Amino acid sequence: MANWVAAFLIIITLELGISTSAATLNETCLGADISFQLQFNLYQNSCPEAESIVFSWVQSAVAVDPRMAASLLRLHFHDCFVNGCDGSVLLDDTATFQGEKTAPPNLNSLRGFEVIDAIKSDLESVCPETVSCADVLAIAARDSVFLTGGPSWEVQMGRKDGVSASKAAATASLPGPNSTVAVLLANFQNVGLSLNDVVALSGAHTIGKARCSSFSSRISGGAGGGPDINLDFVQSLQQLCSSPDLSTTATTAAVAELDKGTPFTFDNQYYTNLLSGEGLLPSDQALAGQDQETRMIVETYVEDSDRFFEDFKASMVRMGSLVGVVGNTGEIRRNCRFVN
């Protein structure tokens, strides 16, 4: 295991041409008067085992449950889109605030919290109060993509964990499965991301599953269908979701694969599905059916998987730079579910 993890980390460094002899800084501006710096190789001295510990746990979790790769990647998305990447999505409710776990986009949907708990516990035993929960999410997301056949990239680190969370912010900020391209773009632009980021990051749906309630309008041939509606695909979804026992819990609800072609492989098949009218979520199919500019990007990714990988890596770094906690306003949580 140790040799494999070491080789993995070397691959990342060589792919991106990043020197391990000196830290590289990236400054993310947060308003006119606030700035924050993320850093490559931040834990090289303070916790050199950090990335290998995360990788080992993610590898084990994905081996047991291949769907966990998508779940861990999604946790990072849902963290960063709500007041920046601050680990707030991991906080349990308390007497003083309602956390993000019970917000409609997350309730009975987000998974992988136990994996993050295990990673954090291991890190705390090796280097206490050093690696933030927000950084753990960013590293685990990268490892999940790599372990399913996708690209690797160097993760910038140094995020602080937030000391609060907001159910209301999660409800308002997270893009919904029925979003139009215009709504998606507005959500992304609100956090400083672009139209190209919308299409590239939507490619994360090349792995994972979704509940019937997430694509109900696809079943009725509605939102997102456009000229590319695929009646055979819609009928297959109708059959899947016609069971009388459709529980609303995350563990027993009827689910469909986001990418029916290669559901556990991170590749560009997702975009091919969109052109054939087989995007599962209305927000997915909208990228090919509602907007000419997003459709052109989809077509580019179908023709050139390397371009998709490069754009996805760049978009993940940009999203991971959405830091909402600076200075003394954050902390390094000892337990990702609770503030210190």
Q: What is the rounded CA–CA span in Å between residue 46 and residue 162?
A: 21
- Give the DSSP letter of residue 225: -
Is 225 labelled as part of a ligand binding site? Answer: no
Cα–Cα distance list, 54 to 48, 119, 332 (Å): 12, 6, 16
Is 86 labelled as part of a ligand binding site? Answer: yes
Closest CA to 177 of 210, 203, 221: 210
Q: What is the rounded CA–CA span in Å between residue 115 and residue 59?
A: 11
Catalytic residue among 67, 74, 76, 78: 78
Is 151 labelled as part of a ligand binding site? Answer: no
Q: What is the rounded CA–CA span in Å between residue 83 and residue 322?
A: 8
Is 294 labelled as part of a ligand binding site? Answer: no
Is 262 labelled as part of a ligand binding site? Answer: yes
Is 130 labelled as part of a ligand binding site? Answer: no
> What are φ and ψ of residue 311, in 5° steps?
-65, -35
* Other beta carbons within 10 Å of 19: 10
In angstroms and rounded to an integer, the radius of gyration of the C-alpha atoms of the chain is: 19
78 annotated active-site = yes
Vertex 170: Cα angle to 287 and 28 (nearest 5): 80
Place of tokens 């993610």: 58
Is 100 labelled as part of a ligand binding site? Answer: yes
Is 259 labelled as part of a ligand binding site? Answer: yes
Is 242 labelled as part of a ligand binding site? Answer: no
Is 221 labelled as part of a ligand binding site? Answer: no
> What are φ and ψ of residue 299, in 5° steps?
-65, -35
Closest CA to 211 of 259, 253, 263: 253
Annotated binding-site residues read: 79, 82, 84, 86, 88, 100, 175, 205-206, 259, 262, 267
Catalytic residue list: 78
Annotated binding-site residues for substrate read: 175
Annotated binding-site residues for Ca(2+) read: 79, 82, 84, 86, 88, 100, 206, 259, 262, 267
